[in-house]
Structure 1
């Protein structure tokens, strides 16, 4: 039986990959994991937008490593512009947004005519209180911007308790 408990746990980032499909529309200036200590690291992503963003559709998939990556609980599509206006309307997307919002300038509805920054995103001990089994998880996001598939960001972390 899996070890499922509501615990205050760490989530240490292990991988991050940022990909753009049209460098005329946007470009990643930064996309990295910075290790500060053995148990503490953070993510920084800086996206230079070269056109005004008026529509955003995001597909978010959560995966768990178990003899390869397997879908785990969530695979959702979100209208990003509508979501930012009222995050409470989509509790699953809001769960992910709560981790992101204090580290990001993604804080208003469309249009976006400025660069997007996620700066030093970390998930510290006690931040994560989810009834998930301990283990390795990945988040895969695909972004359709102004009706074009423009970027994909995915990463993984180890969810563990001391």
Structure 2
């Protein structure tokens, strides 16, 4: 039995330097009460080295009390994901998951990731009950113009 499947995954050009990301995931299991996230940022050409950023969080705990994790709260607020997603509440998750028309752009990422201009990959791994369930990787370019 499948645990989840992507029913939609698209990236559309929405304007100068902005791309809208839409992801829909159908959940095929009961309520999820244990979820975690691992994110890394790697600069293109340096994939064989340690990531520039590697961060792990207990997603359920983070959304239960954002004050306990300053860095995650900062990134979450700067990226504004809660405005475009239904994963903006604490566990349990007993519904399908969506990220709808999220405006992703290099200028915003440059504010979060102060490593100068360049091409990067934001690698994410999503776990429930410590079992890898989904991998989403986003390649992007930062710039200061």
| TM-score of Structure 1 vs Structure 2, range by shorter chain | 0.7 to 0.9
Query: What SS is found at the alignment partner of 1:92?
Result: helix
- 1:26-66 deviations in whole A, cap 9, x for unaligned? 1111112111345331111111111121100111111112x
Partner of 1:150: 133
Task: Tell me if structure 1 keeps the 8 A contact 2:10–2:23.
Answer: yes
The change in CA–CA distance for 1:42 and 1:125 in structure 2 (over 3 A counts) is: same
Match of 1:112 among 87, 93, 98: 93
- Greater share of helix: 2
Q: What RMSD over aligned residues (CA atoms) do the two structures have, in Å?
A: 2.1
User: Matches of residues 2-151 of structure 1 in structure 2 within 5 Å?
Assistant: 24-37=2-15, 39-51=17-29, 52-65=31-44, 67-69=45-47, 70-98=49-77, 99=79, 100-123=81-104, 127-128=108-109, 129-130=111-112, 131-151=114-134
Determine the C-alpha separation between the residues in 1 that align with 2:140 and 2:108: 14
Task: Tell me if structure 2 keeps the 8 A contact 1:31–1:44.
Answer: yes
TM-score using structure 2 length: 0.83
Aligned residues: 139
Unmatched 5+ stretches in structure 1: 1-22
Of 94-103 and 67-76, deviating more is 67-76
Query: What SS is found at the alignment partner of 2:20?
Result: strand
Give the drift of 1:92. 2.6
Give the drift of 1:88. 2.7
Determine the C-alpha separation between the residues in 2 that align with 1:125 and 1:80: 25
Considering Cα pairs closer than 8 Å and 6+ residues apart, tell me whether 1 or 2 has the greater RCO: 1
TM-score using structure 1 length: 0.75
The change in CA–CA distance for 1:142 and 1:158 in structure 2 (over 3 A counts) is: same
